[in-house]
Amino acid sequence: MRQLSMLSIILLVAIILGGCLNALPPTGDPSSPPTGGAKASLTGTVQDARSGLKLWDGQATLTRSGGPSHSTSIKGGVFEFQNLAPGTYTLTINALHYKQLQKQVVVTGANITISEKLTPIFSAAELDLLARLVHAEAKGESYEGQVAVAATVLNRLVHPDYPNSLEGVIYQVIVSGGRRYYQYEPVLNGAIKSPASQTAKDAVADALAGWDPSRGATGFFAPAKVGSGSWVWTRTPTVTIGNHRFFK
């Protein structure tokens, strides 16, 4: 009788343990949580290192040794990568008129948020020169109009018809028919030597960060002050802001 009771107890324990073991999901069961393969996202903001303004556009790229590269656009100062496998990546950020930034980023299973600052390729003196030009050309215009004037100068830098430096663009002189033509009147009359207002400096910072109210224009003029025979009337207009018409 005692032996029978012991046998019953052993059988009961075996049944209980068997039920517990069967409750665990088998290896490879899709319902089991993933291990070591968690995906993550990387979100970043990009600002001008001097002004603190967010950059309007640019390109961010993530590369990993032995793996594929990922690229995305910067929009409104923000970029995002999703579904990244854990590992060490090289982040490269490029934006027009800024020095390239590169850094190592370690991605784990957790989402990451970073903030980066890009340095302009221009010196403080060059940006002050541009601000003085904006002040001389558009001090009576709206803030948007001043940003647009600054943007046209920056647009010339990437156009093959113009010099590739700020000083070169601003001080450019064209010789035609034995005459010298300055691109900007303030250079001719000396008004560019006057200090820039804070508004003009802010307008330059906004244009540098990517705001372009001129819609890609490379020049501007005041229709009320330019005769109908001037060559500027033959250029394609982009927008009129205040007293200035902008053109390509």
Using alpha carbons only, what angle is made at residue 37 by residues 31 and 39, rounded to the nearest 5 degrees? Answer: 100
Q: Please name the residue that has the structure tokens 């207002």.
A: 197
**Which residues on adjacent β-strands are paired with residue 173?**
182
Minimal CA–CA distance to 148: which of 60, 238, 74? 238
- How far, in Å, CA of 171 to CA of 131, rounded? 14
Q: Could you tell me where the DSSP H helices lie in 24-142?
A: 124-138
Specify the fold of 40-118: Immunoglobulin-like (2.60.40)
Report the topology of domain 124-247.
Arc Repressor Mutant, subunit A (1.10.10)
pTM score above 0.85: no
| Angle, vertex CA 227, rays to CA 137 and CA 194, nearest 5 | 15
Domain boundaries, the chain: 40-118, 124-247
Q: pLDDT tens digits, the chain, 248 residues: what are they? A: 444 455 454 444 444 444 444 443 333 333 333 334 579 999 999 999 999 999 999 999 999 988 889 999 999 999 999 999 999 999 999 999 999 999 999 998 899 999 999 999 999 999 999 999 999 999 999 999 999 999 999 999 999 999 999 999 999 999 888 889 999 999 999 999 999 999 999 999 999 999 999 999 999 999 999 999 899 999 999 999 999 999 99
